[in-house]
Structure 1
Amino acid sequence: MKQRKKFDQINVIPLIDILLVLLVMVITTATFIKQGILPIELPEAKASDKKEDQKEFDIYITKEGKYHLDKKEISISDLEEKLKSIDPEQTVVLRSDKDASFQHFVTVMDMLKKLEHKQLYIVTKE
């Protein structure tokens, strides 16, 4: 009769290997989730064009029919002059009160179309 070997110890080395692999995977994915992007450093070039951060222009139309440019009240003629002086690629954000006359909204839209502005956002509430 053969005598059986007693197992009085557990071999934990394979368990430790699996835990280390899982730990590496968790740390790697947690880094990407926290930053949201891959951490890279861009190369430098001497002849590159620097893109300037262009400011957004916010146009507000109140329910009384008053126009505001970046929260400062402005007349419609001054608004047109200001829009003529900015680049048509500049972002313009239009916020109109829901109780404002639709004609005020159309006036600003017509002005932007005439000046060939391409970056227009109309803000609404969900």
Structure 2
Amino acid sequence: MDEKPFESMNMVPFIDIMLVLLTIVLMTSSFIVSGKIPVNLPQATASAPDRSEQRTIELDAEGTIYLDSQPLTTEALGRTIEEEDRETAFLLRADQAVSLQHFVDVVDVLKQLGFGKVAVQTESGGR
């Protein structure tokens, strides 16, 4: 039997693997250093509107809540929609100047009552 002694090792595959690992480390390290991934929330582009029957909840700039154009308080909103089928779709239309807390209060009422079909209306276009 004529066996050749092991004289050298082909390093090219190891170098390729190391370059891939180095690329992965460098790509993820920038996210780790900053602590978060920066997110700019743009205006939404037009999407196909949902044509199913839905109820509309609107919030004006002062934070007044309207359910199908009828003004309500947060508590009254909860009592009013409590009897609705949980599959009812709701469309939230909030003025961009409304306080985030008012918006969260309305979403919290919907979540507590178990409504899952909720959409937020936005304007088409960008800045």
Please classify the TM superposition score into its range, dividing by the shorter chain length: 0.5 to 0.7
Give the letter aligned to residue 71 of structure 2.
E
Q: Number of aligned pairs?
A: 74
Per the alignment, residue 62 of structure 1 pairs with 60
Task: For 2:71 and 2:110, locate their aligned partners in 1 and report how far apart those are by CA, in whole Å.
Answer: 18
Q: How far did 1:56 drift?
A: 1.3
SS of the residue 2:87 aligns to: coil
Stretches of structure 2 that go unaligned for 5 or more consecutive residues are 1-51
Per the alignment, residue 79 of structure 1 pairs with 77
TM-score, normalization: structure 2? Answer: 0.55
Q: Compare CA radii of gyration and give the structure with the larger one.
A: 1
Per the alignment, residue 22 of structure 2 pairs with none
Task: For 2:96 and 2:77, locate their aligned partners in 1 and report how far apart those are by CA, in whole Å.
Answer: 21
TM-score, normalization: structure 1? Answer: 0.55
* RMSD between superposed Cα atoms in Å: 1.6
Per the alignment, residue 97 of structure 1 pairs with 95
Stretches of structure 1 that go unaligned for 5 or more consecutive residues are 1-53
Higher relative contact order (CA 8 A, sep 6+): 2
Matches within 5 A, 1:2-81: 55-81=53-79
Task: For 2:100 and 2:119, locate their aligned partners in 1 and report how far apart those are by CA, in whole Å.
Answer: 17
Task: For 2:77 and 2:111, locate their aligned partners in 1 and report how far apart those are by CA, in whole Å.
Answer: 14
- What fraction of aligned residue pairs are identical, expressed as a percent? 30
Runs of 4 or more consecutive aligned structure 1 residues displaced over 3 Å after TM superposition: none
Task: For 2:90 and 2:116, locate their aligned partners in 1 and report how far apart those are by CA, in whole Å.
Answer: 9
Task: For 2:58 and 2:87, locate their aligned partners in 1 and report how far apart those are by CA, in whole Å.
Answer: 19
Per the alignment, residue 45 of structure 1 pairs with none
